[in-house]
Structure 1
């Protein structure tokens, strides 16, 4: 699919840092999320959910996911369900979760391009830190920002701006990479260029209205795009 904007009207794209969503962008966390969610649902006497169904709940934060599930099954006390899920998930963060194919190569390529990296996620920050520390080399990411007390969730732009501040990079020069419409909305609200990670969990029918600068089917496609941008500072929207 070709994504193009008029070169005469498009501002010159410059990327000096990359902000990554976590679930569905860097790491396939769906197996562990599904496993833990089904364990607590079985305790409620509810049928298990398929991974594809759970996929549709990911992106807005754990409380939102549990709220949708509780409403689906008529479970009273979503807060208690959320607590039980979080307790279980805390002990099974990387039981089955692994980086998507090509992600390690993408991150190494970013290192060679001297692009500082950050994780910006709606997952609880302590969990995001543990996952990143378990699956990626030390110091891969300059900062990992997730859900914590007093911080707004995506698509509010605050967390993206905070990542840019910590990286000492102008937000307009931070590429925001994510797999859901929420990520693209975050990038737009923060004034950042964006990349749609089509290999992740997002529904491809929802991203077009957000006009991402890149649409990538595979992490290595994104790496090629970054290499070209860094080499040419091209101002054309690309499909990779």
Structure 2
């Protein structure tokens, strides 16, 4: 098949479920709050399904599930607890550090775009990811719309001085892929995180991979010339 040009000049990463496995700390903190409210605890798999839409949405869903009237108080307690336990159990996914080193060698600008609060995102990145890796780290803060609204992705592209149409948005949930589409960016679904593979595939991402090493191979292609191929479960569509 003839190669087609697919210029990618910057990569925007989601954080939770894409670069870092934060599920253990999120689950631990959420269960502490539930116990304080006399509620049963949740499994990591259940909490996994709540991640992606931001902390407020997660707490509201849990409060509704257990009939807790004061979701605001529950949210405030969770945030206070989580702030002090951000990286108790969280770790980068296997292969992510090698992926980021590969990106450094490619000299491609990187950003983190997450629905986690910006302060927490920076703390997690500072503690668990290589220093000076990301040109910008953007998370939720007052006045900024959450993903899948495209505003934060556009802001990241502006800060990296790259046209949004030359950006690749990498994430593990439908919200990330919808963000990429809304922002006019290429999308890459990663299946090692918290999203379900069929749901990700239903969003028709431009790329899909099962391991960080596969994503790096994709980047080595799309930062120059992309070929349609399938390798070790990692797929690239032809354009």
Shorter-chain TM-score tier? over 0.9
Q: Report the Cα distance in structure 2 between the residues aligned to 1:102 and 1:83, rounded to whole angstroms.
A: 34
Query: Which of 45, 52, 55 is 1:59 aligned to?
Result: 52
Residues 1:116 and 2:116 aligned together? no
Query: Helix, strand or coil: the match of 2:223?
Result: helix
Residues 1:201 and 2:218 aligned together? no
Please tell me whether the aligned partners of residues 221 and 227 of structure 2 are also in contact (alpha carbons under 8 angstroms): no
Please tell me whether the aligned partners of residues 214 and 237 of structure 1 are also in contact (alpha carbons under 8 angstroms): no
TM-score, normalization by structure 1: 0.93
Residues 1:234 and 2:231 aligned together? no
The alpha carbon displacement at 1:152 in A equals 0.4
Instruction: Give the unaligned 5+ runs of structure 1.
Output: 1-6
Runs of 4+ residues deviating >4 angstroms: none
The alpha carbon displacement at 1:64 in A equals 0.3
The alpha carbon displacement at 1:205 in A equals 2.0
Listed one character per residue, the Cα deviations across residues 47-71 of structure 1 (whole Å, up to 9, x for unaligned) are 1100000000000000000010000
Aligned length, in residue pairs:
232
The alpha carbon displacement at 1:235 in A equals 5.7
Please tell me whether the aligned partners of residues 188 and 210 of structure 1 are also in contact (alpha carbons under 8 angstroms): no
Residues 1:146 and 2:139 aligned together? yes
Q: Report the Cα distance in structure 2 between the residues aligned to 1:29 and 1:66, rounded to whole angstroms.
A: 16
Query: Which of 9, 13, 17 is 1:16 aligned to?
Result: 9
The corresponding residue for 2:79 is 86
Instruction: Give the unaligned 5+ runs of structure 2.
Output: 235-239
Once the two structures are superposed, the pairs formed by residues 171-210 of structure 1 within 5 Å of their partners are 171-210=164-203
CA root-mean-square deviation: 1.6
TM-score, normalization by structure 2: 0.94
The alpha carbon displacement at 1:11 in A equals 7.4
The corresponding residue for 1:169 is 162
Q: Report the Cα distance in structure 1 between the residues aligned to 2:152 and 2:46, rounded to whole angstroms.
A: 28
The alpha carbon displacement at 1:204 in A equals 1.4
Q: Report the Cα distance in structure 1 between the residues aligned to 2:142 and 2:77, rounded to whole angstroms.
A: 19
Query: Helix, strand or coil: the match of 1:207?
Result: helix
Please tell me whether the aligned partners of residues 31 and 41 of structure 2 are also in contact (alpha carbons under 8 angstroms): yes
The alpha carbon displacement at 1:237 in A equals 7.2
The corresponding residue for 1:102 is 95
Q: Report the Cα distance in structure 1 between the residues aligned to 2:229 and 2:84, rounded to whole angstroms.
A: 42
Please tell me whether the aligned partners of residues 14 and 112 of structure 2 are also in contact (alpha carbons under 8 angstroms): yes
Residues 1:74 and 2:44 aligned together? no
